[in-house]
Structure 1
């Protein structure tokens, strides 16, 4: 269809007023029309006033597209006519429609950016002269100013989106920066003209455009705070007048008035908080003084209202906080001046105002959205105050200490949870926001400790006693207690293990006195979190266990705090295992009850097994096995029943198997009777055992006793074999089964010898049916531990041969090698470890070395970077050891050329640019061990036309080869050589995209 005005108008109408299918067709045709050369002509027909606004907008958009993307189609002699047409069109649409006018202004901005360096050097002067009310009497004066400000605003914004060559971009940028001061003067002139009259809501639109224009040029650069004294005053006056003269107690501010306040404050913030403004500390101080004088009164007025306006408070606080964060050093320097100085008072005023922001009335986020703005400032302030190697006087520390004390009280209030979880105003999204808010509060508490030290603990201790008393008066006050406990949890990492003092012992004592049964369950949950957080401290002060163990066991019986209680028990049993003996029976009895009654959820039950293993490890073997029977016999019976059933597993059965296996795996990871030092055990005996007989009975298992994990594994290994035979194709079950075996092997180490053959056979049987990464992980542990053991060497080699053959067959049978990338990743990781620890297993008969080398070479081209790295690591080890081993040497001679071809193909474009680093290692290894062969292989590649890409010339390929052959050790230079050649092969040299770092 011909690109006529009538056809285009019909297509635009069809696009806006038809179904999706017709819309898509119309859109495609219109897009093609925008790119055709005829568009330079038909846009002016479509911009006629009689056309619909949709057609006019399409025409304006097309004109912008043409200038932006097809500027090269405009001959130089057409620049002036095109400029006149653009200006005329803007004046024609000066009164609207707004969307058309805005698009035309954007188009003119793009035109100016293309022509300003050489063809329209005085563009800004002409614009400022042309768009004057006296020169355009047919258009409303305020509309003329509006249009001019719109064009000026769009020029720096459009600059950021245009694709200039680097040299051209720098030229245009310099032109704009040179013009920025004139633009600023023009904005000031318009503001002063309007402000010479009384503030009027009728002028809000003009004020808004002036503020946005200033903001755009401030962001662009070229203007410093030294140039902005007048305009900052004007912007502050506009903001203050808008609030005081437009705001009414009943209605508040309109959306336009709020938008104006935001725009003026954003513009001020851009220049005052500019990173380079720190070079003018005196000017910054002066402007901050003005900002505080104007804006603090507004904040105080808002704070006095019951229904305060967040749309006013947020931008004001944002400005003050951003300036304070940017100039925190200036604030500190001012605090070092005499207390009666204006600078000192200003800094103090700013800090107190930010504290006022943190203390905004109501709960975040449902009542207020200010307090979260301040957390970064409190960190920066304390960082400046306690910064080492600085001359911060003690007086500054003493000045900010009372502020931080007040801050702690504020944060305790702001961190309180809603007393009623069912309150409809607390949606799930709001609760999540509050959770993140509390984390920010916790971080701020932690920073505050660096300033307050023991003063913070005194505050928390007093508040905790006070809040507990509140709860005795009314249990609805439980959020006060929980907030205090949360604060203790937040600062836990500050305490050294050896730290003495009265605060923490008293805290642990207080935890036992809180009436948890009367309060919300979250109080108990946070108390348990505290116990876990201070577990390392408790290990050095084991007498505290008398207080915390009963509390943890109380939590285990409550499913609502299952996560906190099991985490606390995990932390305590891990950190305090040497002192847990006296509480072992109590803990085990409770955990047994919890498991039998199924009080906790599945993840908590699995985590509980970690602690069970830790606790059992301090008991004699007989006691361990007695307790394990309570846990394992039901599991074994369940497994046997399931396995005896000839029916396929349903989802419930699968879930049960997976849960039980995970519990066993977790138990295996910690059940190790030799994991406590003998000195620790002796100390435990002295503390907890009252006679010699009981001491001997409760000693840990000695080296001549079997590990309980081994006994358990021997008992359930037949079940594992039976399970593996029945579920060998079920990936999830087999992964968990392999995980249990891995944990057992890691725990037992050499003690796992009696079961090595059984485990190896299970692995190979399972791998034959379904090769899995998890099986290879277990195999790697076994082969590294027992690969050199003569007892298992032969078996290891036979099973290694089978695993290698299975994997190679799997790869050969796959249409896409990437389908098995995860297995190949683990497979080559195992072989790489073998090269390091016991390479002789690979050199024996039965392993197809050449096929392995070729498989690894093929893996270099997969998109999965982890697999590429594993294959490359294997090849590097292979090459480096090949000179000492004839089978490896002959393999490199045979398949080396194919490897180099593959590496070059990957560099040339087969692999993404993010995955080129492994090829540097391969080329370095080849260059180190086979430099002469590498040169010959490269010569063959250089002679191939169009390889590895049609883009590099022969000279460029030869230069690449020379650079590679020159490097035998410098990995960084090899990477740079590969990266540069890869850009050449991909046609990205000199492009902005190509200049990005390789990870982009």
Structure 2
């Protein structure tokens, strides 16, 4: 194709990308442009488009981005002499675009930066001095020089796509950056003071300085030797330069974190910060100015936090300035200070413990900070929207961490005592003046600080527990009070005499229709029963009666908290009492489920209620675990069978309702753990029901329980039990194979996940159940098929299953199954290789590489003659945009022409994976490149 025709084609494609309303046409244009950029013709065509200023900006921006793309990824397409010519072409283009547009300038500068890293000093010497000579002498070209100087450190330091060796990088970076730092500072110093300089140029100078500071190529000491430092301080008083001056100041402070090496600059910075105190005080309600000054003070506080105890005259004013920022009304600014208070708290605490008097002024500051944070905790009186309320609640927990920092310095008891005083003061107010927010905020602080309290405290914590029940009957206070009590249940466990009053207050929280208060009461009761279970046995009848009274009025979630709470108490009883109490507690729930099975046509609400009871039973057994396993009488086997008969009826009638199947499966799993071997009499009907339910619904929960049965009872199972388990697995496998014929692996991700876990469990518990079964080829095929799934968990379990099956013959017990495994491998080895290698270069997570290596080695051991052909065929199936032909050839050459050497498998697969990763990075680069085009005149780097 001629050059002119190529230009016309690119212009037409760009026009389709931006102006064709058809999404498919846009997508095709995008792909076509990506393909064009990979060609060698793109060098010439991009140059012609770039020089043709009569074309639209989009075409010229595309050409500049193409140069950056080609320089970064395809420079090897050009011979050495052409690479130097390319440099001159880009420099001429930069001269042409000296007056803009800025987006084109930026792309050209980025291309030149990437090129400078790849060309050695012998080819392109004195990069920065040369750029200064060419562009630094005329006002109209200063902008492009500063743009190049700004992007160079970032591009060289962070663009890891530029293909240079570590040795080349270590040699070239000092030449480009480190050795040129003084030159850059001289240039920037000259321009910042130049006659007629505009604020826009000064801002660009500052941005360039930030870039060099961030890259670590300009030291604080170097900067201090120039006039730039003084100008940075002065610029803080200039509105047009304030923001960028703040950035420079913060970067400068960060660069002085090696305090001993930068002490002169640190002292200079500290002296300047003293004068900024007055600027902060004068900022008033100017949010932008306060935010910028806050950033500076906090950066200094965090960087120099180790100096606060030993240099109080210099450092205390900084802490006081940060306190002013923490007192500000804008919480976005307040949170900037939080990490500083965390860092300082440790120093103040340690100094106080050592008796260092220097801690005193900081302790006073933390006392004030405590008051300020509680003030910020108060809900605004203005009505908040739902999202605003949720955001504020989340932020309050963040502020609660700073209260813990105050506890570290002042002591938890002292902080709690101050919160109590605030509540007591508020309660003394006349009723019309009382605001619930004035009580709720210190209440919340008590909740935040609960974990800091000494369990042996007998002064403040009793006052907390005493005042909460006396609070006004406002719903927000009742809610907050219940949550406060839930944080002090560990203390109550050490002081059981407090249980009656606490239990009374919590249970009254369930009265009324406020759902949030009920939820808080359920949480508080749960924590109380969990922490104080050893003391609550005598209260069990009261708890049972309470449960019976309110069980129909609570939400499903609160009911779960309540039954879990009572189960904790039961678990602490002596075995005989625990068994009786458990039966007494669960019978009404089970009776409700049984009654549900008798309904001729239950409504959705009735079905949901029954499912809730099933979930509650599962939660009870989850808490009990195996605590009674060794003491349950053998007669409990009958109880297990009777209970299962009810669940069997549920699955028979309503097992096609998904949430019923899930919750019933979960209960069965908990029951199998709880009853242990006493559940064996139920396995025959259970496995029959699970298999038939999966055959009729395809729900993954049924497969999951089959796997749990095999895991729990398959080891050393006798012939009858082995036959039951094998039959259930076979029926599940047959249904699974049918589902895979109708649906893709991503549509069956849950089912595949549970099925392959079940196969893996069978391989470990009873290998013959899988490897000698007639469905074994289909099971292995399901795992191979699952390698195409996008879900990392499905890919992981499929890979593990395949690897473990193929490696099983090498185990001592595996000799009996070697023929079966080899037959499956020979039959499905080609498809396995295709899916495995495609997955490796596309969607497999990186941690899957060792599994793939093990699998290929196992195939090499089982099928040494066929494997080279399978891999060769699989490689030919890989798309060339994922693995270019030359990399495919490298991979095959690495494997060798004869039988595959197991020792060389890893090396070869790493080559393949590395090539694919490079192609994926190219694709991501193209995507971001074209996204920049679509931003039009607003796009930048």
Structure 2 residue aligned with 1:505: 462
1:575 and 2:574 correspond: no
Alignment of 1:396-795 (within 5 A): 397-398=359-360, 400-420=362-382, 423=383, 426-454=384-412, 456-469=414-427, 473-474=431-432, 477-495=435-453, 499-515=456-472, 517=473, 519=474, 521-557=475-511, 558-596=514-552, 598=553, 600-614=554-568, 633-641=591-599, 644-645=600-601, 652=605, 654-670=607-623, 717-750=644-677, 752=679, 755-770=682-697, 772-779=699-706, 781-782=708-709, 793-795=718-720
Structure 1 residue 504, shift from structure 2 partner: 1.8
Structure 2 residue aligned with 1:916: 849
1:212 and 2:207 correspond: yes
Structure 1 residue aligned with 2:278: 297
Q: 1:443 to 1:620 in 2, by over 3 A?
A: closer
CA distance in 1, matches of 2:720, 2:777: 22
Q: 1:321 to 1:832 in 2, by over 3 A?
A: same
Q: Is the 8 A contact 2:759 2:801 kept in 1?
A: no
CA distance in 1, matches of 2:570, 2:557: 20
Q: 1:419 to 1:873 in 2, by over 3 A?
A: farther
Q: Which has the higher contact order (CA 8 A, sep 6+)?
A: 2
Q: Is the 8 A contact 1:443 1:490 kept in 2?
A: yes
1:374 and 2:337 correspond: yes
Q: Is the 8 A contact 2:496 2:535 kept in 1?
A: yes
Q: 1:804 aligns with which of 729, 732, 752?
A: 729
Q: Is the 8 A contact 1:468 1:514 kept in 2?
A: no
Alignment of 1:176-255 (within 5 A): 176-177=176-177, 178-193=179-194, 203-231=198-226, 234-235=228-229, 237-238=231-232, 240-241=234-235, 243=237, 253=239
CA distance in 1, matches of 2:63, 2:318: 51
Structure 2 residue aligned with 1:352: 320
CA offset digits 1:478-497 (Å, max 9, x no partner): 22322222222223333465
Structure 2 residue aligned with 1:689: none
Structure 1 residue 95, shift from structure 2 partner: 4.2
Q: 1:118 to 1:832 in 2, by over 3 A?
A: same
CA offset digits 1:133-167 (Å, max 9, x no partner): xx54xxxx4x5443432232133344344623225
CA offset digits 1:593-629 (Å, max 9, x no partner): 3333x2x333223333323444567678888767766
Structure 2 residue aligned with 1:317: 294
Q: 1:393 to 1:902 in 2, by over 3 A?
A: farther
Tell me whether 264-273 or 166-175 shows the greater mean CA deviation: 166-175
CA distance in 1, matches of 2:538, 2:806: 54
CA distance in 2, matches of 1:874, 1:36: 47
Q: 1:106 to 1:944 in 2, by over 3 A?
A: closer
Structure 1 residue 310, shift from structure 2 partner: 2.0
Structure 2 residue aligned with 1:680: none
Q: Is the 8 A contact 1:464 1:481 kept in 2?
A: yes
CA distance in 1, matches of 2:671, 2:451: 33
Q: Is the 8 A contact 1:324 1:350 kept in 2?
A: yes
Structure 1 residue aligned with 2:173: 173
CA distance in 2, matches of 1:704, 1:27: 72
Q: Which runs of 5+ in 1 are unaligned?
A: 247-252, 337-342, 678-701, 927-932, 966-976, 996-1000
Structure 1 residue aligned with 2:894: 956
CA offset digits 1:377-410 (Å, max 9, x no partner): 222223455689x998744555543333232222
CA distance in 1, matches of 2:696, 2:57: 68
Q: Is the 8 A contact 1:607 1:666 kept in 2?
A: no
1:153 and 2:111 correspond: no
CA offset digits 1:5-64 (Å, max 9, x no partner): 788778877876664568778777777777673764785676466666666655655565
CA distance in 1, matches of 2:777, 2:91: 72
CA distance in 1, matches of 2:896, 2:469: 78
State the secondary structure of the residue aligned to 1:418.
Answer: coil
Structure 1 residue 877, shift from structure 2 partner: 8.7
Tell me whether 559-568 or 860-869 shows the greater mean CA deviation: 860-869
CA distance in 2, matches of 1:903, 1:383: 57
CA distance in 2, matches of 1:574, 1:989: 53
Q: 1:320 to 1:805 in 2, by over 3 A?
A: same
CA distance in 1, matches of 2:255, 2:431: 52
Q: 1:282 aligns with which of 263, 287, 294?
A: 263
Structure 1 residue 65, shift from structure 2 partner: 5.3
CA distance in 1, matches of 2:680, 2:57: 84
1:946 and 2:880 correspond: no
CA offset digits 1:846-888 (Å, max 9, x no partner): 845965884587478454234235525853894465x347644
Tell me whether 887-896 or 285-294 shows the greater mean CA deviation: 887-896
Q: Is the 8 A contact 1:485 1:526 kept in 2?
A: yes
Structure 2 residue aligned with 1:685: none
State the secondary structure of the residue aligned to 1:223.
Answer: coil
State the secondary structure of the residue aligned to 1:578.
Answer: helix
Q: 1:867 aligns with which of 791, 794, 797?
A: 797
CA distance in 1, matches of 2:80, 2:814: 72
TM-score by length of 1: 0.76
CA offset digits 1:680-732 (Å, max 9, x no partner): xxxxxxxxxxxxxxxxxxxxxx966977x975x66654442222123333333
Structure 1 residue aligned with 2:131: 127
Q: Is the 8 A contact 1:665 1:743 kept in 2?
A: yes
Q: Is the 8 A contact 2:256 2:262 kept in 1?
A: no
Q: 1:662 to 1:153 in 2, by over 3 A?
A: same
State the secondary structure of the residue aligned to 2:198.
Answer: helix
State the secondary structure of the residue aligned to 1:148.
Answer: helix
Q: 1:38 to 1:381 in 2, by over 3 A?
A: closer
User: How many residue pairs align between the two structures?
Assistant: 885
CA distance in 2, matches of 1:650, 1:889: 54
CA distance in 2, matches of 1:582, 1:296: 63
Q: Which runs of 5+ in 2 are unaligned?
A: 876-887, 923-941
Structure 1 residue 325, shift from structure 2 partner: 2.1
State the secondary structure of the residue aligned to 2:124.
Answer: coil
Structure 2 residue aligned with 1:686: none
CA distance in 1, matches of 2:99, 2:711: 81
TM-score by length of 2: 0.80
CA distance in 2, matches of 1:827, 1:14: 48
